[in-house]
Amino acid sequence: MPAMKQEIRFCTTPDGVRLAYALSGEGPPMVMSATWISHLEHQWRSLSWRPWLDALTREHKVLRYDSRGCGLSDRDVDDVSFGNWVRDFECVIDAAALTRFALVATCQGGPIAIEYAARHPERVSHLVLYGTFARGRLRRGQPHQAEKARVLLDMTRLGWGQDNHAFLQTWASAFQPGGTLEHFRSWCEQHRAAATPEMAARLMAISWEVDVRDAASRIRCPVLVVHPERDAVIPVEEGRLLASLIPDSRFVQLDSDNHLLLADEPAWPRLFAEVRSFLVEPARAVPTSRALPLDKLTSRERAVLEGIAAGLDNAEIAASLRLSEKTVRNYITRVFDKIRVEHRYQAIVRAREAGLGRAADVVGAR
C-alpha cells in the first residue's frame, strides 16, 4: 500500500488526557467519531480500514482521532465513560478549529456522533450513521444478554491480539465473515497495536450500556442511516430503530453479511454512491433563536458551561474539572461574556435550550 498521507496532532482535554488526532485528504471537512478501538497509523495499513479511508479522503478533508486509552492517545487513563467520549470528541473538533462539517460514524462511534449532533446543531451539516445503534447491547431488553456479555468480556481479556485464540476467531467471523485470512491477521495486528486487553474490555462494556434514543429524536440535520442486512455484530433491527427515532432520516439496507463492508463486495459501490449523493444535498437551516455561540468557547469553557447547565455550583464544577474555584470563576466570567448573559440563571436557561445540562451531563460532570 502507498504511504499514508496524514498530519497527526495532539490536544489535551479539560481533565488532562492527551488525545491524538489526524487530518488527511482535501476538500470539504468531514469528521469521523471514534470506533471501539483505533490506531491512527495502523488504520492506514489495515486491509479492512484502508479502503474506507481512501474513499473518504478522496473528496474530503477528514478528521479522525484515537479515543482515550487507545492508539496514540494517552493509554494509562482511569476515567473512561460515555460522557468523556462525547467531551473528548468536542475537544478534538475544537482543537482542529472546525466550525461546520459532515459527520460520519460507524459502529460504536454512532452514539457519540448522535449525542454530538443533538448538542451542536449549528456545527453538523450532514450525519452518516453506518452499522450503528441508539441503544447498547444490554439496553435492548433481551434475555440472557448479561451472561453472554460476561463470557465475551472474559474471552476478550484472555485472547486479545492472539491469532489462534477463540476470541479472535469468533470476533472476526462475526465482524467480517467475508474477509480472508489476511484480513483476520490485519485485525489481530490492529488489536495488539491499539489497546490493552483490559482497556478493550472496558470500552466494550461501556458501549453496551449506552442509550441515546432521546438525543436521536432531537437531531435536526439531514441523516443517512446505512446498515448491512445480515450484520451479526449489530442487528439490522437496531439500524431500523435508529432511523425511526431520527426525524426525516433516510434508511438504506445493504445486501451484505459483513459488519464492516469489504471493498470487493457488490454492496461497496452502492454504499459510497449513497453517501456521495447524500452529502451534496443542501444542509438545513439552523434555527437561530436557541443557538448559542458555542464555537467561540474553548473546550474548558464549554465544560464549565456544561456544569452550570447541570446545576452544579462553583465548588462542584471545580472538583469535577480539577480546577481551583478562583479559576472556575474566571472561566465563568469569560463564558458569560461570550454567550452574552449577565446572570447565572440566564446561562442555565440558554444552555439548557441548546441541549446542555441533561442527566447524562450531570453524571459525567460529577
Q: What does the mean pLDDT of the chain come to?
A: 89
Identical fold between 7-279 and 294-365 = no
Ranges of beta strands (E only) in 87-245 are: 101-106, 124-130, 223-228
Any bridge partners for residue 31, and if so which? 63, 103
Over 90: is that where the pLDDT of 198 sits?
A: yes
Q: What percent of the chain has pLDDT over 90?
A: 67
Q: What is the pTM of this model?
A: 0.78
- Which pLDDT band holds residue 2 (cuts at 50, 70, 90)? low
Pairing of strands 101-106, 124-130: parallel
Report the C-alpha gap between 285 and 309 in whole angstroms: 25
Measured on CA atoms in the order 174, 175, 180, 181, is the torsion positive or negative? negative
User: pLDDT tens-digit profile of 146-165?
Assistant: 788 888 888 888 877 676 66
- In CATH, the number for domain 294-365 is 1.10.10.10
Nearest partner of 124 among 163, 98, 143, judged by Cα: 98
Write down the domain spans for the chain: 7-279, 294-365
Q: Which three cell numbers stand for residue 136?
A: 447498547
- Which pLDDT band holds residue 301 (cuts at 50, 70, 90)? very high
Any bridge partners for residue 102, and if so which? 30, 126
User: pLDDT tens-digit profile of 94-117?
Assistant: 999 998 999 999 999 999 999 999
User: Is 22 within 8 Å of 40 (Cβ atoms)?
Assistant: yes
Please count the other Cβ atoms lying within 10 Å of the Cβ belonging to residue 211.
17
Once rounded to an integer, what is the mean pLDDT over residues 242-259? 96
- What pLDDT, on a 0 to 100 scale, did the predictor assign at position 102? 97
Over 90: is that where the pLDDT of 131 sits?
A: yes
- Which pLDDT band holds residue 3 (cuts at 50, 70, 90)? low
Which of 25-39, 102-116, 235-249, 332-346 comes out lowest in average pLDDT?
332-346
- Which pLDDT band holds residue 4 (cuts at 50, 70, 90)? low
Would you say domain 7-279 falls under CATH 3.40.50.720? no
Report the C-alpha gap between 366 and 355 in whole angstroms: 18
